[in-house]
């Protein structure tokens, strides 16, 4: 059962993860063009990567539960006047932000949570690929529910393919995102799973509050 596959039409690698005997196996197929498979090799995922991949899939499935039910109204709804949200200014849509830790943390709108997911996921992908991490204000929020869902699905697919191709050595490679001090890539992957769970929980909380508000108003 192929559960991840990325296809291109010219001289590129196709990455996949296949479930065999209860464990994911990374599959890499190489083509010289459409229908011209040149080489295929299977390499079992390490226990660490297998666990991280399983955790990611479980968490992302929770996010997928909410995405089809979001509306523009629901995304824009603020659970409190003090909530962090996305605001339209002269330079486009920008998030409420504080560089200082706030306690208690402010409530957030779904709009803000989806932007936050897009920002850190774009940054984590760049770090995992050894690319420059984008500045926060360069990440353009898609605004509409259709655009938001499409972008998050795109990021999830890109992340699945990226981690499916990692080796043991890759997992130990140092990255400096999201922390200033270098840490192994495997720790960043675990952090991505926790951030995804946090933002998904935020979305779920706002969905419940919104419908409870609608039912009593």
pLDDT tens per residue across span 103-119? 999 999 999 999 999 99
Burial code of 119-149, b = ≥16 C-beta within 10 A, e = fewer? bbbbbbbebbeeeebeeeeebebbbebeebb
Distance, CA of 48 to CA of 86 (rounded, Å) = 37
With cut-offs at 50, 70 and 90, classify the pLDDT of residue 217: confident
List CB contacts of 52: < 8 A, sequence separation 6 or more.
163, 186, 189, 190, 193
Domain 46-216 fold is 1.20.120
Relative orientation angle of helices 110-128 and 185-216, to the nearest 10 degrees: 170
pLDDT of 12: 29
pLDDT for residue 142 is more than 90? yes
pLDDT tens per residue across span 74-109? 999 999 999 999 999 888 999 999 999 999 999 999
- Do residues 82 and 168 lie in contact, with contact meaning Cβ atoms separated by under 8 Å? no
Distance, CA of 167 to CA of 60 (rounded, Å) = 22
Least confident interval from 3-7, 139-143, 184-188:
3-7
Would you list the domain boundaries of the chain? Answer: 1-44, 46-216
Distance, CA of 186 to CA of 49 (rounded, Å) = 8
pLDDT of 166: 93
pLDDT of 59: 96
pLDDT of 44: 62
pLDDT of 1: 34
């Amino acid at each position: 059962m192929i559960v991840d596959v990325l296809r291109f039409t010219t001289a590129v690698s196709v990455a996949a993860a296949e479930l065999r005997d209860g464990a994911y196996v990374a599959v890499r197929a190489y083509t010289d063009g459409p229908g011209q498979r040149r080489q295929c090799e299977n390499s079992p995922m390490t226990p660490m990567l297998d666990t991280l991949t399983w955790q990611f899939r479980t968490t992302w499935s929770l996010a997928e539960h909410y995405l089809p039910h979001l509306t523009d109204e629901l995304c824009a709804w603020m659970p409190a006047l003090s909530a962090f949200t996305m605001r339209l200014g002269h330079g486009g849509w920008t998030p409420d932000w504080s560089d200082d830790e706030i306690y208690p943390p402010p409530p957030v709108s779904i709009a803000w949570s989806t932007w936050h997911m897009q920002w850190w996921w774009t940054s984590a992908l760049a770090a995992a690929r050894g690319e420059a991490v984008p500045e926060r204000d360069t990440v353009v929020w898609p605004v509409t529910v259709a655009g938001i869902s499409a972008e998050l699905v795109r990021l999830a697919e890109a992340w699945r393919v990226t981690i499916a191709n990692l080796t043991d050595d890759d997992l130990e490679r140092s990255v400096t995102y999201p922390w200033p001090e270098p840490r192994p890539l495997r720790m960043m992957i675990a952090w991505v799973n926790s951030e995804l769970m946090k933002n998904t929980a935020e979305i779920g909380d706002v969905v419940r509050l919104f419908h409870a508000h609608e039912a009593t108003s």
